[in-house]
């Protein structure tokens, strides 16, 4: 039985989920997709239409789903977790078909497929369904073979970077909606001779096609039920040693871009990150990206390059950065100062001294470890190297312990982790994906927040607007020209570097 109370827009969503059976729940992050979905599933269970279902989610969210089931329903659940022997016993219990919710992570579908494919299921909930946005990932291929009478795909932003991601997700939820790939590609995508995306077209038509197959609510639709958001940028000027290192890497990067341009005629940063690469230029692109990542590391903390160089040497080239090792061997990494880290520490002190809790995001796990060593306040860390149980322990400690005032996380904490106790979120750096950046900010921008006003602060402003515009155009009709097109080309990387010289 569902024991929660739903808003009107959530009740309407439940009705559409039950009527259509296969639906994308693309409600804005923080709008209560979990209780909405549980209300729909409980209706199925109470009516006797189904007796058991599967909840698929990132590993870090399994125990959070368990907590939400306890919070909003009277139903039982089983979390699939642990060693192969433990999972074997759990799968045996799940095979009875008598446990209403069997909670698994996506990788278990792939790794335990021979067992998972036989599990009874009346519904499947796919939380953070962008996990299957890639056509080629083994995880996506297995999940797309995993079906049930009712399928609900949950996400706050189904398109993180490209319209193709929407197609991949809908292949699982309901492949009849967008039809054959060749037709979708021809209708909505304009490509260059190398196969890279030049722009997207006919966007209003794509939204019309998706309308029956999704529930789309933007922040504007429920703004009166969300906290006021104050966004700001904390500018930090690098000191001379850091600037000298930055400019050394910058020159190396510009030279590498020049070499890559001679090979292929253009350099598409968007394609590098998202799989539209050509074998003939992969080496040149890798050289560019090693320098680009080094440039970003300098603005985070120069010590990250030293760490990366040491890791590369100790792992015999399996991890870390060869370019960072070159910089170290050339004597370029003798930089001991951390202007940006110092600014972050000062800002954290200010927030904590005012009696508030703060969340800090960084894409660099090594930076999280570095910050953890320097923090004087009680805190928890949250990153992909932790198992699901340890992640849930960290989240609950931040939630329940008034003395734990700082939550330091990599982007593995940016998906689905509810942190309404914090009133301030600091992006120490931004991920290249606009969707990932939005996911981070939504950790405290939620209907469950304990604050009337929240603060989101970027210590550095990265250029991710283009990718955000692609998603917003398709989902919400923003940024589309008179012909229904949105430009998908990224800004010239050379211009980006020149405009950010220090």
In contact, 352 and 403? CB cutoff 8 Å: no
Question: How many helices (H) does the chain have, and how many strands (E)?
Answer: 21, 16
Same domain, 404 and 279: no
Does a structural domain hold residue 114?
A: yes
The better pLDDT of the pair 421, 475 is held by 421
Categorize the per-residue pLDDT at 200 as very low, low, confident or very high, splitting at 50, 70 and 90: confident
Does a structural domain hold residue 470?
A: no
Categorize the per-residue pLDDT at 272 as very low, low, confident or very high, splitting at 50, 70 and 90: very low
Q: What is the DSSP letter of 487?
A: E
Helix residue ranges, H only, 95-239: 106-111, 113-116, 138-143, 163-173, 181-188, 203-210
| Helix pair 339-353, 365-374: axis angle to 10 deg | 60
Domain termination site, one of 440, 458, 476: 458
Residue span of the structural domain in which 348 resides: 228-235+338-458
Whether residue 490 is predicted with pLDDT greater than 60 in this model: the reply is no
CA 132: distance to chain centroid?
A: 12
- Looking at residue 92, which CATH number applies to its domain? 3.40.50.10810
Whether residue 337 is predicted with pLDDT greater than 90 in this model: the reply is no
Query: CA 439, CA 422: separation in Å to the nearest integer?
Result: 15
**6-35 per-position pLDDT tens digit:** 989 999 999 999 999 999 999 887 788 999
Non-local (6+) Cβ contacts of 137 within 8 A are: none
| pLDDT for res 304 | 92
Residue the block writes with tokens 């995993």: 146
In contact, 76 and 101? CB cutoff 8 Å: yes
Q: Tokens standing for 107? A: 């990788």
Between CA 39 and CA 67, with CA 62 as vertex, the angle to 5 degrees is 55
Mean pLDDT of 156-183: 89
| Helix pair 434-441, 465-476: axis angle to 10 deg | 80
Query: CA 67, CA 63: separation in Å to the nearest integer?
Result: 6
Same domain, 343 and 244: no
Which of 235-239, 263-267, 342-346 is modeled with the greatest confidence? 342-346
Same domain, 187 and 304: no
Q: What's the CA dihedral at 249, 250, 253, 257 to 10 degrees? A: -170
**281-333 per-position pLDDT tens digit:** 677 778 888 998 898 888 888 899 999 999 999 998 889 999 999 999 999 99
Among 290, 273, 323, 282, smallest CA distance to 432 is for 273
Residue the block writes with tokens 């969503």: 13
Categorize the per-residue pLDDT at 473 as very low, low, confident or very high, splitting at 50, 70 and 90: low
| pLDDT for res 477 | 62
Among 340, 358, 339, smallest CA distance to 348 is for 358
Among 62, 65, 11, smallest CA distance to 40 is for 11
Same domain, 295 and 173: no
Helix (H) or strand (E) holding 263: helix 240-264
In contact, 388 and 63? CB cutoff 8 Å: yes
Strands 22-27, 150-154: parallel, antiparallel or unpaired by DSSP?
A: parallel
Domain termination site, one of 422, 437, 458: 458
CA 321: distance to chain centroid?
A: 24
Q: Provide the whole-model pTM.
A: 0.65
**381-409 per-position pLDDT tens digit:** 999 888 888 998 999 999 999 999 999 99
Mean pLDDT of 232-246: 85
Give 77's strand partners.
101
Query: CA 230, CA 203: separation in Å to the nearest integer?
Result: 31
CB under 8 A, 24+ apart: contacts of 472-481: 473/200, 473/203, 474/159, 474/163, 474/166, 474/200, 474/203, 474/206, 474/207, 475/26, 475/157, 475/158, 475/159, 475/207, 475/216, 475/218, 476/216, 476/218, 477/203, 477/204, 477/207, 480/203, 480/204
In contact, 399 and 407? CB cutoff 8 Å: no
Same domain, 182 and 272: no
Does a structural domain hold residue 380?
A: yes
Does a structural domain hold residue 257?
A: yes
Q: Tokens standing for 423? A: 């009133």
Categorize the per-residue pLDDT at 465 as very low, low, confident or very high, splitting at 50, 70 and 90: very low
Same domain, 352 and 327: no
**406-422 per-position pLDDT tens digit:** 999 988 766 668 888 99
Mean pLDDT of 179-196: 87
Same domain, 89 and 211: yes
Q: Tokens standing for 149? A: 């009478």
In contact, 161 and 435? CB cutoff 8 Å: yes
Query: CA 323, CA 95: separation in Å to the nearest integer?
Result: 51
Total domains in the chain come to 3
Non-local (6+) Cβ contacts of 497 within 8 A are: 250, 253, 254, 257, 295
Query: CA 221, CA 452: separation in Å to the nearest integer?
Result: 18
Same domain, 246 and 207: no
Does a structural domain hold residue 480?
A: no
Same domain, 250 and 280: yes
Whether residue 38 is predicted with pLDDT greater than 70 in this model: the reply is yes
Mean pLDDT of 171-193: 92
| pLDDT for res 460 | 62
Mean pLDDT of 454-462: 70
- R_g over Cα of the chain: 23
Q: What's the CA dihedral at 340, 343, 349, 354 to 10 degrees? A: -130
**69-97 per-position pLDDT tens digit:** 999 999 999 999 989 999 999 999 999 99
- Looking at residue 401, which CATH number applies to its domain? 3.40.50.300
| pLDDT for res 160 | 63
Same domain, 206 and 86: yes
**101-160 per-position pLDDT tens digit:** 999 999 999 999 999 999 999 999 999 899 999 888 899 999 999 999 999 999 887 776
What sign has the CA pseudo-torsion 48, 51, 55, 61?
A: positive
Q: What is the pLDDT of the chain when averaged over all its residues?
A: 84
Q: Tokens standing for 150? A: 């009712």
Domain termination site, one of 225, 250, 277: 225
Same domain, 274 and 256: yes
Same domain, 327 and 203: no
* φ, ψ for residue 212, nearest 5 deg: -70, -15
């Amino acid at each position: 039985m569902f024991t929660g109370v739903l808003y009107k827009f959530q009740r309407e969503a439940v009705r559409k989920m039950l009527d259509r059976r296969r639906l994308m729940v693309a409600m804005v992050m923080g709008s209560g997709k979990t209780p909405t979905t549980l209300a729909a599933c409980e209706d199925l269970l109470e009516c006797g239409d189904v007796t058991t279902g599967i909840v698929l989610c990132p590993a870090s969210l399994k125990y959070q789903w368990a907590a939400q089931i306890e919070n909003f329903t009277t139903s039982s659940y089983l979390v699939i977790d642990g060693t192969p022997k433990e999972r074997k016993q759990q799968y045996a219990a799940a095979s009875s078909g008598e446990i209403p919710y069997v909670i698994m992570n996506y990788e278990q579908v792939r790794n335990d497929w021979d067992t998972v494919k036989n599990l009874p299921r009346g519904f499947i909930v796919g939380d953070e369904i962008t996990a299957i946005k890639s056509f080629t990932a083994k995880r996506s291929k297995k999940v797309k073979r995993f079906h049930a009478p009712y399928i609900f795909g949950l996400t706050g932003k189904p398109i993180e970077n490209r319209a193709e991601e929407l197609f991949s997700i809908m292949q699982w939820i309901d492949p009849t909606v967008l039809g054959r790939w060749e037709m979708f590609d021809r209708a909505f995508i304009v490509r260059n001779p190398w196969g890279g995306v030049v722009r997207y077209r006919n966007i209003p038509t794509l939204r019309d096609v998706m309308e029956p197959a999704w529930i789309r609510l933007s922040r504007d639709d429920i703004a009166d039920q969300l906290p006021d958001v104050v966004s700001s940028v904390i500018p930090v000027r690098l000191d001379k040693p850091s600037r000298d290192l930055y400019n050394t890497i910058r020159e190396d990067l510009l030279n590498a871009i020049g070499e890559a341009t001679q090979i292929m005629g253009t350099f598409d940063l968007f394609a590098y990150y998202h799989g539209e690469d050509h074998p003939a230029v992969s080496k040149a692109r890798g050289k560019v990206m090693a320098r680009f990542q080094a440039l970003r590391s300098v603005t985070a903390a120069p010590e990250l390059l030293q760490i990366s160089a040491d890791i590369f040497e100790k792992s015999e080239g399996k991890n870390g950065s060869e370019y960072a090792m070159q910089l170290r061997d050339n004597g370029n990494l003798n930089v001991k100062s951390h202007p940006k880290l110092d600014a972050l520490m000062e800002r954290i002190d200010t927030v904590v001294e005012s009696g508030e809790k703060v969340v800090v995001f960084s894409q660099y796990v090594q930076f999280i470890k570095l910050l953890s060593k320097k923090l004087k306040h009680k805190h928890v860390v949250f990153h992909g190297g932790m198992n699901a149980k340890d992640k849930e322990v960290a989240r609950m400690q931040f939630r329940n312990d008034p003395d734990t005032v700082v939550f330091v996380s990599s982007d593995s904490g940016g998906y689905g982790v509810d942190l309404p106790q914090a009133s301030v979120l600091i992006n120490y750096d931004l991920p290249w994906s606009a969707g990932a950046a939005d996911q981070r900010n939504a950790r405290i921008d939620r209907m469950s927040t304990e604050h009337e006003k929240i603060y989101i602060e970027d210590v550095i402003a990265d250029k991710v607007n283009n990718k955000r515009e692609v998603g917003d155009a398709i989902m919400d009709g923003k940024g589309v020209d008179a012909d229904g097109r949105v430009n998908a080309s990224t800004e010239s990387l050379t211009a980006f570097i020149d405009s950010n010289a220090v």
